[in-house]
Amino acid sequence: MEALNVVVNVAFVLEKQSFINLRLSAVPDSDPFTMPLFEGLSAGSEKSAVILDIGAAYSKVGFAGEFGPWAFVSSKVKLSKTKKEVFVWDYSSEEELFDILVEFFHLLYFKHLLVNPKDRRVVFCESILCPTQFRETVAKVLFKHYEVPSILFAPSHLLAMFTLGINTGLVLDAGFSETTVLPIYEGIPIIKGVQTVTVAAREIHRNLAALLQDQAVLITDGEEAPLASKMSSLPDTVIEDIKVRTCFVTNINRARLIQQSILQNDESKWPAVPSSVEYPLDGGSKLVVTGKVREVACEVLFEQDMEEKSVATTILDAILQCPLDMRIPLAQNLVLMGGTSMLPGFAHRLVDELKELLSKPQYKDRLAISSFKVHSPPSEANYTAWLGGSLFGAMEILSYRSLSREAYNQAGKVPDWCSLDDAVQEAEVVPKERSSMKQLEALRKLSLEKSSAGASPTPK
């Protein structure tokens, strides 16, 4: 019993020490020369967590407490079995996804992060609408195959709030495959208000490819020919590059004029066309990307589809789903993130569109909002969620909030907001509680043995 008491004391002292470590490591790693000192002092403390954000097009990876991802990796991997390069999100079955993720995480850990997966906790940034199958498989791969100590599945929209130090806001994430809007009020995501449209970078690419195929001219050795006659399609990477380097989101006035011009088939209404660009393709030929194409390619974001949905309407619809009291604060705290929101002119056009939509009949009488305010996170929009993960992962409380490997092995699945199973909430605490219970049992036995030898005090 004496020995056990000592154990308790030692554990207590160790915990006290970790407080000190926390203080020290609270000083961010600004100066590379003082860092080794800190590392030496806090040798007992944990290694910084790995922050993973697996996007549809690009994945962002790095470590907690860092201010930018260490690597931006295309989310595809060459499978050793089939020797084919596949996108991570391009899977047909869980087994296939498992194989893809095993190889993809291997690439991330051993080519980019260069750390042992076993040593570090993981913060996994995910969309709130991430398919259960995907996150379950991620957990399976990380826990079973890579044996990571714990994973925190963090909704990317909430993480974006971390980069701003606010807890109320309307977060728009315009990524590759879809645009998702989530209202967050006082730190609570309002799931009812989630709005999503499948209009994002992929749709722009599709539109741009169609426009080019339809209109573009290819110059080979001084001879001009329509692109369609030479090539049936341009590679995705070329389309992406043309979008990034030449396209922009035009302002709302010009967009209206262009719309009219197309509708009335009247060329003269088209505003002064921006300059065209000769884009060099492999093989010495040049593709002429006209000013019209450059300007119109990104218009898909704001064109309303059959259900009258566009990137702009998702924001208003999300606000409409929220209680009255929340609406103005939400409109005053817009946060834009995702690579697509980095298109030149995107934010300005979005705000203009929102203002115009307010005067439209479907919103006019239902929303009393007059202005919108946009936050600017301390990051580029394409890694805002990652940065939030990094800030969160740097906190010492990460272990309390994460799903530990033991808890996962016991429960066999990942707790989720959409499942009402008795989720393993504070995962880390559960096994510890148990062990102290065991300790108590052992103590009781021990003392009973002792007491049975001498005078027996009866426990009441």
Partner 1 sequence: MASLLQFEKVLMKCSCDIKSPIINLYFCKHCLKLRCGRCVSHEVDSYSCPNCLENMPSAEAKLKKNRCANCLDCPSCNHSLTTRATSVALTDSQSPDKKMTKKVYYLACGLCRWTSRDIGLGDKETASGGWEEHDNPHFERLNELLEFYHQLAIKEKNEREQKKFNKRRTYLRLQEKYFSPGGLATRRKASFLNALSSMAPKTDEPEITPVKLIEPKEEVDPLPSKYYTQPLVLEKVTTLAQRLNRPEFASSQVEGLYPRHKHLVIKRSQRCRECEHNLSKPEYNPSSIKFKIQLVALHHIPDVRIYLVPKLYQAKESIVTILLSNPSQEKMETELEAINEPPSTGLLTVPEGLLVLAAKDITAEFDEKTADTSEFKDNPEKKSSETSQGHIQFRSGHKLGVLFKVTPQTSDSDVVVCFKLKYKYHNTSPSLRTPVEDEEKPDAVWLEHEVEINLGATSP
Interactions with partner 1, residue window 55-94 (CB under 8 A)? 58, 60, 63, 65-70, 72, 80
Residue 89 or 98: which CB sits closer to partner 1?
98
Binding to partner 1 in span 148-177, by CB under 8 A: 162-166
Stretch that binds partner 1, among 87-95, 306-314, 316-324, 444-452 (CB under 8 A): 444-452
* Residue 402 near partner 1 by CB under 8 A: no
- Exactly one of 17, 116, 362, 409 binds partner 1 (CB under 8 A); which one? 116
Residue 4 or 210: which CB sits closer to partner 1?
4
Q: What distance lies between CA 312 and its chain's CA centroid?
A: 20
Distance CA 301, CA 252 (A): 12
* Residue 2 near partner 1 by CB under 8 A: yes
- Exactly one of 278, 308, 356, 441 binds partner 1 (CB under 8 A); which one? 278
* Residue 246 near partner 1 by CB under 8 A: yes
* Residue 371 near partner 1 by CB under 8 A: yes
Nearest to 90 by CA among 76, 74, 108: 76
Q: How far is the CB of 117 from partner 1 (least distance, A)?
A: 8
Interaction pattern, residues 126-145, with partner 1; x per rule: CB under 8 A? -------------------x
Cβ contacts of residue 373 below 8 Å, gap of 6+?
331, 332, 333, 334
Stretch that binds partner 1, among 212-220, 225-233, 257-265, 370-378 (CB under 8 A): 370-378
Binding to partner 1 in span 6-65, by CB under 8 A: 8-9, 12, 15, 19, 22-23, 26, 28, 30, 32, 35-36, 39, 58, 60, 63, 65
Count residues near partner 1 (CB under 8 A).
Answer: 103
Residue 84 or 418: which CB sits closer to partner 1?
84
* Residue 104 near partner 1 by CB under 8 A: no
Q: How far is the CB of 275 from partner 1 (least distance, A)?
A: 4
Binding to partner 1 in span 199-238, by CB under 8 A: none
- Exactly one of 75, 196, 379, 402 binds partner 1 (CB under 8 A); which one? 379
Buried b (16+ CB within 10 A) or exposed e, 323-351: eeebbebbbbbbbbbbbbbebeebbebbb
Binding to partner 1 in span 286-305, by CB under 8 A: 294
* Residue 396 near partner 1 by CB under 8 A: yes
* Residue 391 near partner 1 by CB under 8 A: yes
Stretch that binds partner 1, among 173-181, 310-318, 413-421, 437-445 (CB under 8 A): 437-445
* Residue 412 near partner 1 by CB under 8 A: no
